């Protein structure tokens, strides 16, 4: 096996990096995951994840974790309600009886990010994850890399895999290609004990997802574990909106005032979100890697997930692509048909870039549709045409 007697460093302990570590350990590889969080109890940010049969679920199945997933996914969290700015319901599939069929292409079960991370962490061999490892830099040493971390620790690896997300510090060692701004910014909020703190919104949500469209602006939200709700105000804005605007994201009253001015036609039911969310709110300008990006494969370095192919979230493909990256990379690195690590990495990267570009284009197009003047009618047409047997 190409990886025999090799030290493998995965930088980043998100779903992609952890999935890769598990898959490689199943093949007998020596793997360490270097994660900047202090420990496994760090709060995981972001909305729940819907996994797809051909990617995220396929990776979990290969990792022998599909049964754990089935015991922990959020039943009903994939139910969707579409409303206008006045919170009038135009579409709901809550009354449609859906078979929980993991073999159906349109079944996309949702799981809380923190729960998925816990499943992956607990599946790994003891001491696989090196916590409090904030990557700073690395340099070539022998045939591998010497990695430097903020805590003063240095470590050698024969092979480094960047799984360190959208702001990857390792990606520049492979390519200087940078992402471009999509034109859309999202303001993220999170609400604890939602049933009590935002009763009207919670009643509308019904444990699933709500997509609200109006006047080229959106509110997107979904049920999270432990009674939490995550939401995003999504709108077109200049790239530097968050730094240019005079707005304290830790001040709920200021953010509510901003919302009232930015979304003037919207019902006051949405005010509950901004009045009761934890602070600070998090502005997230949405970026995408160029669809035609390419670079020369190296024998000792590669990347996966957002580090490799950052894309907008409007097709639900980010985590699925990252976990499929992990699956395909693990198979390439352990395949007997490749004579060198560079051949294996090149084969993986070529295919990864091709399929990621297709998904990124779809995500960009969906983002445009969701922020268009006719977004409500467009999304109603789309959801009404999707049937689940």
Look up the CATH number of the domain holding residue 283. Answer: 3.30.9.30
The CB density around residue 308, as the number of other CB atoms within 10 Å, is: 27
Q: Is residue 87 part of a domain?
A: no
* Residue 43: band (very low, low, confident or very high) from pLDDT cuts 50, 70, 90: confident
43 is in an annotated binding site: yes
Q: Are residues 44 and 125 located together in one domain of the fold?
A: yes
CATH label of the domain that carries residue 131:
3.50.50.60
Residues 59 and 117 reside in one and the same domain: yes
50 is in an annotated binding site: yes
Same domain, 221 and 343: no
Which pLDDT belongs to residue 95? 81
Could you tell me if 263 and 295 lie in one domain?
A: no
Task: Clarify whether residues 137 and 70 are in a common domain.
Answer: yes
Domain termination site, one of 267, 288, 309: 288
Quote the pLDDT of residue 346. 98
Q: Where are the beta strands (DSSP E) in 152-297?
A: 154-157, 159-162, 180-191, 209-214, 217-223, 229-236, 282-288
Rounded to 5°, angle at Cα 142 from 135 and 32: 40
User: Residue 46 pairs with which residues in a beta bridge?
Assistant: none
Q: What is the per-residue DSSP string for 289-342?
A: --TT------SSEEE-THHHH---STTS-HHHHHHHHHHHHHHHHT-TT-SSHH
Same domain, residue pair 113 and 20: yes
Tokens 């290969």 correspond to 62
Q: Who has greater pLDDT, 150 or 78? A: 150
Torsion of CA 350, 353, 355, 357, to 10 degrees: -150
pLDDT-derived band at 387 (thresholds 50, 70, 90) equals: very low
> Which tens digits make up the pLDDT trace of 50-75?
899 999 999 999 999 999 999 999 88
126 within 8 A of 267, measured Cβ to Cβ: no
352 in the same domain as 340: yes
Residue 388, pLDDT score:
37
The 10s digit of each residue's pLDDT in 152-202 is: 999 999 999 999 999 999 999 999 999 999 999 999 999 999 999 999 999
Q: For 247-256, which contacts have Cβ atoms below 8 Å and span 24 or more sequence positions?
A: 249/279, 249/280, 249/281, 249/282, 249/283, 250/279, 250/280, 250/281, 251/279, 252/276, 252/277, 252/279, 255/187, 255/281
Let me know whether 133 and 244 are in one domain. no
Check pLDDT > 50 for residue 92. yes
Name the domain boundary from 288, 314, 337: 288
| Cα separation, 357 vs 171, whole angstroms | 17
What domain range is 233 assigned to?
180-288
pLDDT, tens digit (0-9, with 9 covering 90-100), for 300-346: 999 999 999 999 999 888 999 999 999 999 999 999 999 999 999 99
Which letter does DSSP use for residue 44 in this model? Answer: P
Q: Is 200 labelled a binding residue?
A: no
- Verify that 117 and 238 share a domain, yes or no: no
228 found inside a domain:
yes
Confidence band for 2, pLDDT divided at 50, 70 and 90? confident
In terms of domains, do 164 and 302 share one? yes
Q: Is 306 annotated as a binding residue?
A: yes
Answer whether residue 341 is part of any domain.
yes
What spatial distance separates the first Cα and last Cα of the chain, rounded to whole Å? Answer: 43
pLDDT at 54: 93
270 plus 324 within the same structural domain: no
Q: Tell whether 40 and 68 lie within a shared domain.
A: yes
Higher pLDDT, 46 or 378: 378
Q: How far apart are CA 312 and CA 177, in angstroms?
A: 17
- pLDDT on residue 389: 31
pLDDT, tens only, 204-248: 999 999 999 999 999 999 998 889 999 999 999 999 999 999 999
Average pLDDT along the chain:
93
The total of other beta-carbon atoms located within 10 Å of residue 20's CB is 32
Q: Does a structural domain hold residue 338?
A: yes
**pTM of the complete model:** 0.93
Provide the domain count of the chain.
2
Last residue of a domain, one of 288, 317, 344: 288
233, part of any domain: yes
Reported confidence tier of residue 99, pLDDT bands at 50, 70, 90: low
Residue 78 has pLDDT above 70, yes or no: yes
Assigned domain for 319 exists: yes
Cβ atoms of 189 and 241 closer than 8 Å: no
Residue 98 lies in a domain: no
Q: Tell me the percentage of the chain whose pLDDT exceeds 90.
A: 85
- For residue 165, is it within any domain? yes
Asked whether the predicted pLDDT for residue 12 surpasses 50, the reply is yes
How much is the pLDDT for 316? 85
């Amino acid at each position: 096996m190409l990886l025999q007697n090799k030290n493998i460093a995965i930088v980043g302990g998100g779903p992609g990096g952890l999935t890769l570590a598990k898959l490689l350990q199943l093949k007998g590889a020596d793997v360490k995951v270097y994660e900047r969080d202090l420990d496994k109890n760090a709060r995981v940010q972001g909305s729940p994840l819907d996994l797809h049969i051909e990617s995220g679920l396929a990776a979990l199945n290969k990792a022998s974790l599909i049964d754990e997933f089935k015991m922990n996914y959020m039943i009903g969290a994939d139910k969707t309600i579409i409303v206008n700015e006045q919170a009038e319901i135009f579409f709901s599939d809550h009354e449609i009886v859906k078979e929980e069929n993991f073999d159906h292409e349109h079944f996309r079960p949702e799981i809380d990010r923190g729960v998925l991370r816990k499943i992956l962490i607990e599946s790994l061999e003891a001491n696989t994850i090196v916590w409090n490892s904030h990557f700073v830099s690395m340099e070539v040493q022998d045939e591998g890399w010497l990695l430097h971390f903020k805590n003063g620790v240095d470590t050698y690896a024969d092979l480094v895999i960047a799984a360190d997300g959208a702001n990857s510090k390792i990606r520049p060692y492979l390519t200087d290609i940078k992402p471009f701004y999509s034109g859309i910014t999202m303001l993220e909020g999170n609400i604890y004990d939602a049933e009590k703190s935002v009763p009207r919104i919670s009643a509308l949500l019904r444990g699933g997802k709500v997509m609200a469209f109006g006047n080229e602006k959106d509110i997107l939200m979904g049920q999270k574990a432990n009674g939490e709700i995550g939401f995003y105000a999504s709108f077109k804005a200049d790239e530097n909106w968050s730094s240019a605007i005079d707005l304290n994201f830790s001040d709920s009253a200021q953010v509510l005032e901003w919302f009232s001015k930015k979304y003037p036609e919207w019902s006051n039911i949405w005010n509950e979100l901004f009045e009761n969310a934890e602070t600070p709110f998090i502005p997230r300008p949405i970026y995408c890697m160029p669809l035609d990006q390419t670079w020369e494969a190296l024998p000792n370095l590669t990347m996966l997930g957002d580090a490799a192919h950052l894309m907008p979230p409007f097709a639900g493909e980010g985590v699925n692509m990252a976990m499929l990256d992990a699956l395909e990379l693990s198979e390439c690195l352990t395949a007997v048909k490749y004579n060198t690590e560079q051949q294996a990495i090149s084969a993986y990267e070529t295919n990864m870039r091709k399929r990621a570009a297709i998904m990124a284009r779809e995500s960009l197009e969906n983002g445009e549709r969701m922020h268009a003047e006719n977004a409500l009618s467009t999304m109603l047409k789309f959801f009404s045409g999707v049937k689940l047997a």
